[in-house]
A and B are shown apart, each in its own frame.
Chain A
Amino acid sequence: MKSLQLFLMALFLGATALGQTQATASFSASVTIIEPIGITNTSDMNFAAIDAKGGGVVVLTPDNGRFASGKVQLADGTDVSAASFRVSGQQGFSFSVTLPDGEYLLANGSQNIILKDFTSNLEGAGDLTSRSSEFRVGATVEIQPGQNPGTYKSVGYLPVTVHYN
């Protein structure tokens, strides 16, 4: 009887001791994978026809509005267009846009027009409420007095960059 009791105790102790030589704990690991952000130019910027006259400044707004100041006069505005872009990326995320900085040239032979002061219709960040979003970009041109008639085009590309916030 005594030996049986001892044996039972020993068994109990053995099991406890074995359990105490090892312990475990768990953790979870996680990551959220996000679709890369992309941008496509869907419409180029076009100031349409302008009569230089005494020169001045023409502002093209992101919503296709044109405003002249100085002696320059607006002519046929049929083709007026702000630049537009489509952004693709992860739904539910916001992004910001970096517009061209400083002054760029529109050229026609040896004649140039200065293009500057880029603006977008995004106030601060854009939101990818669906998988794609659009925004528009306007700018300002400086027309010299008696600027030669002709079609002026940008020299090289105007960089517009989007990135996730």
Chain B
Amino acid sequence: MKKITFILFALLSGTAFGQATATESATGTAEIVKPIGITNTGSSILDFGKVIVPTGASGSVQITAAAAPVRNLTGLDVIGTTFSSAEFAITASANNNYKITIPETELSGPGDPMPLVPISNLPLVSNKGDQILYVGGTLTVNDGQTEGTYSGIITVTVEYE
């Protein structure tokens, strides 16, 4: 399907060229930019693992954005060693700025929602073409949070500027 689209594009360019023979410099600025894309490659789950309810004050758990993420704890404790960051492959033409948007969200479950601030290994705007994007985050766990499993869906958007 992508191939067909490309052929149509080439055809139209040719037509435009044919119609603009008088303005010869028009084709000199033509630039083919490959479509931007993003797909889940590795883990599609940002998993904070098993967190013990903080008592007396809220705490936070942070997963870094890296191939081998690190879990940092503030004011709470965890059980087990299972956690993960999410991983994506971005496909884009080099030297074209694109914006990476990862919204803040909340994880919902049996108790109060918990705010989640995402962490990215890439800057907000990049021009480096194909790249691997890792998404970690900082989750705030409320004092006396009701036990259970909490989850949320986050949509990552990449867009040419």
* A interface residues (Cβ-Cβ under 8 A, vs B): 6, 9-10, 12-13, 16-17, 20-37, 90, 93, 164-165
B8 A31 Cβ-Cβ under 8 A: no
B50 A34 Cβ-Cβ under 8 A: yes
B157 A31 Cβ-Cβ under 8 A: no
Which single residue of chain A is at the shortest CB-CB distance from B135? A27
From A16, A17, A26, A30, contact of B150 by CB (8 A): A30
CA distance A98 to B55 in the complex (A): 22
CA distance A30 to B139 in the complex (A): 10
CA distance A28 to B155 in the complex (A): 9
* B interface residues (Cβ-Cβ under 8 A, vs A): 5, 8-9, 12, 15, 35-40, 44-53, 55, 61, 79, 86, 88, 105, 107, 109, 111, 114, 116, 135, 137, 139, 141, 145-160
Contacts of A26 in B (CB 8 A): 153-156
CA distance A35 to B137 in the complex (A): 22
List the 4 closest A-B pairs by CB distance, nearest first. Answer: A20-B35, A31-B48, A27-B86, A29-B46
A23 to chain B, nearest CB (A): 5
Contacts of B15 in A (CB 8 A): 6
